[in-house]
Structure 1
């Protein structure tokens, strides 16, 4: 089961977002309508780029399950867990609360603080562990994961604070 934990964690944001979107579907801030396309373009963009990130994460996970490829060292697992646990989870919570809030700007500074931490944690992971040892294929998976999530986050940020 432990071998599948990182794979399960990869799907939690998308599944949780979908569940919360369904639970709060009548909230006026979400701007959900009863006919196609049902959701604002922001949500479809998040699905697209979040999907790219998830596919990259799944491919990377599978890559490391092949005995011919390098196993992930403990320090790298800890760095990735720190990025997810101390960055990704609080960011998700703050962004969702901001999306539902009548005063979303109250969440802006905490979101930016968590964003800075998350970018530093991801950069640390990429530059310390991946820069020299990863080949082009594994780097492509990482880029799909990082940039897909980054663009999805930017679209979500736009929905909350600009749209």
Structure 2
């Protein structure tokens, strides 16, 4: 395939569901966490939830605040690229972001949830670390290949909110389970 043909393919606009996939995947952890908290029988007792403030362990407050910051950063970045004055993302970059969120973040959420509910959370430790390594590599690939040189201060701030917010939320949840 000629170089010009592959370059044109890499820069073609993204349409349909692929255009919204990374945005939808941003909300999976928050929606799933809230829904599962409400729908899992006996969870309040198992997690030591209280009727009075602070209601939940401190780690859950960190998950809430850091996760909200991360979600804001992700949505702001997604919207930033919908503005005609800013750079449109190529299909390869959208796919890399969706892989980091979908093949890293979603399985990580499932493993962390199972570990939190398990009487033996250590059984999930190795799979969690394997998925964590994959997720970090996928995020680094996205950041270093697509964002390193071209992002301005505004877009970089959105990325940092997304990455560090999710990282802090994950660390707090990990501490709750294994600390």
TM range (shorter): over 0.9
Extract unaligned runs of 5+ from structure 1.
none
Distance 1:85 1:136, change over 3 A: same
* Greater than 6 Å deviation, 4+ residue runs: none
Q: Compare CA radii of gyration and give the structure with the larger one.
A: 2
Asked if the contact 1:53–1:146 (Cα under 8 Å) also holds between the matched residues in 2, the reply is yes
Give the TM-score, by structure 1 length. Answer: 0.94
Corresponding position of 1:125: 142
Secondary structure at the counterpart of residue 81 of structure 2 = helix
Aligned residues: 162
CA contact (8 A) 2:22 2:101 kept: no
Correspondence 1:48 to 2:65? yes
Unaligned ranges ≥5, structure 2: 1-15
2:22 aligned with 1:6: yes
- In 2: Cα distance, 1:104 partner to 1:22 partner: 21
1:79-126, Cα deviation, whole Å (9 max, x unpaired):
112111211111000000000000000000000000000000000000
What is the TM-score of this pair, normalised by structure 2? 0.86
Q: Kindly state the Cα deviation for residue 42 of structure 1 after the two structures are TM-superposed.
A: 0.8
RMSD, aligned α-carbons: 1.3
